[in-house]
Amino acid sequence: MLFGKGPREAASPSRDLRIDVIRGLILLVIFVNHMPGNIVSSVMPHNYGFSDAADVFVLLAGVSAAFAYGRLIDQRGLLVGSLKVGARIWTLYIAHLALFVLVCGIVATAVVRTQNALYVEAINIQPFFSDTQAAIVNALGLVYQPFYLDILPLYIVLLALFPLIYVTARTSPLAALLASFAIWQGATHAGLNLPNHPGEGGWFFNPFAWQMLFTLGVVIGRFGLVGASLPKLRLLDVAAVGVLLFAAMVKLSSGNPFGITLLNDWIDSLQIGIDKTNLAWPRVAHLAALTWLALRFVKPNARILSGLAGQRLAALGRHSLEVFCAGIVLAIAGQIILAETSFTLWVQLLVTLGGITILLGLGTFLSWYKTLTARAASAPREQAATA
């Protein structure tokens, strides 16, 4: 089975533990990677593969949106489902704006206190200081995005498209994928993107490209909802493992590990970076391989998911919006602490471990708080979706 335990049970509102646990893990990886130059980030997954935490995050967003809002659309109709999606978008928007203000405040304080103007550069927040009025207006319109504040706007746009994507995927998963594929490739070649002011740049996560991963997630989620089973394709297993091994070899070696001169240029271009803005296809291939193997070999009832670590991570994953926002704030504060202490090793480890502990604590607290309030209202177990 792709997700859950068959049609009957999949239709009941049970969560797939894999989504929560993986998402919890991804949130921690994102936190660590948002403090560049710290030693822990040099062992994070992006060092071994073409895709990274963001790709997984967006794919999972699609899967869980299908589970939460897709199911609602199936049960209560498109209007009710879309209204619920709209309410969620509003929450995301408010969270994004609050995060924006918090980050500007933290950086402004840091720059005044430390007189290191590079903190401004490090998250591209200059426009806020040089032309505050325009920056605020643009931030409200999501067309000014400092670094790290570019993921929530993407998610807002993707969620707004969700009803359309879901209804298409329900009618024909293939049509949804083909259309999404065409938009991704078409936009990449035509240079289509939403604007990011000031300047001529576009969104760091080009929604025309990244909708592809989201749609892929929605389709996977849709298969999960109807309890489709995953075919056992040994050949595909081998191919997926091959892709992961190839990526790891390319990323871990400094030159061309295969010794085929013809590949030199291509290997070189993979090593210097794989375009994230327009979602270069090696990222997609790598993520597809990862996804296939995860679906094939990590069963929803795998023991590792329900162990202690799994439980803590799942608690994180279930409150991903709160944890994500807290992670951004902690990571930016962490960046500043690391630079002020000249990246002393023990401080790096302390800041990283401290941040992870706080985030895990937050996840656990929010889970506890939710059961508490649910019990107080003596309401049935709440199944609100998390982003």
Partner 1 sequence: MPALAGPKPLAQMADGRCRAGAAQHPFKPSLAASKRILTETNRLSIIALGSSSTAGTGASDPDRSYPAVLEAELRRRLPGREIKVTNLGVGGQSAYEMYLRLDNEVIPEKPSLVIWQTAVNDAIRDIGEEKLAKILRKGAHKLQEAGIDLVLMDMPWLQREGRYPKYDDYRAVLAKAAVESGVPIFPRYGMMKSWSGSKQFSQEEIVGMDGLQVVEAGYRCFGIRLADGILAELGEGAGPGKPTN
In the complex, the residues that contact partner 1 under the rule CB under 8 A are 36-37, 108, 111-112, 115-118, 120-127, 129-130, 147, 191, 199-201, 254, 268-269, 271-273, 275, 277, 339-340, 342-343
CB 57 within 8 A of CB 23: yes
For partner 1, the closer of residues 130 and 371 by Cβ is 130
Collect contacts of 142-146 with beta carbons under 8 A, ≥24 apart: 142/96, 142/194, 143/194, 143/195, 143/196, 143/197, 144/196, 144/197, 144/198, 145/196, 145/203, 145/204, 146/100, 146/103
Q: How far is the CB of 278 from partner 1 (least distance, A)?
A: 9
SS3 assignment, position 202:
strand
Q: How far is the CB of 354 from partner 1 (least distance, A)?
A: 20
Rounded CA separation 27/57 (Å): 8
What is the CA angle 103-56-38, rounded to 5? 50
For partner 1, the closer of residues 12 and 254 by Cβ is 254
Q: How far is the CB of 195 from partner 1 (least distance, A)?
A: 12
Q: How far is the CB of 254 from partner 1 (least distance, A)?
A: 6
Of 18, 65, 44, whose CA–CA distance to 213 is shortest? 65
Q: Which residues pair with 202 in a beta bridge?
A: 195
For partner 1, the closer of residues 268 and 382 by Cβ is 268
Q: How far is the CB of 126 from partner 1 (least distance, A)?
A: 4
For partner 1, the closer of residues 258 and 343 by Cβ is 343
For partner 1, the closer of residues 120 and 220 by Cβ is 120
Query: Would you list the DSSP string of 46-103?
Result: GGTSSS-HHHHHHHHHHHHHIIIIIHHHHHH-HHHHHHHHHHHHHHHHHHHHHHHHHH
Of 385, 304, 300, 288, whose CA–CA distance to 10 is shortest? 300
For partner 1, the closer of residues 13 and 36 by Cβ is 36
Q: How far is the CB of 257 from partner 1 (least distance, A)?
A: 14
Q: How far is the CB of 62 from partner 1 (least distance, A)?
A: 26
For partner 1, the closer of residues 74 and 340 by Cβ is 340
Rg (CA), the chain: 21
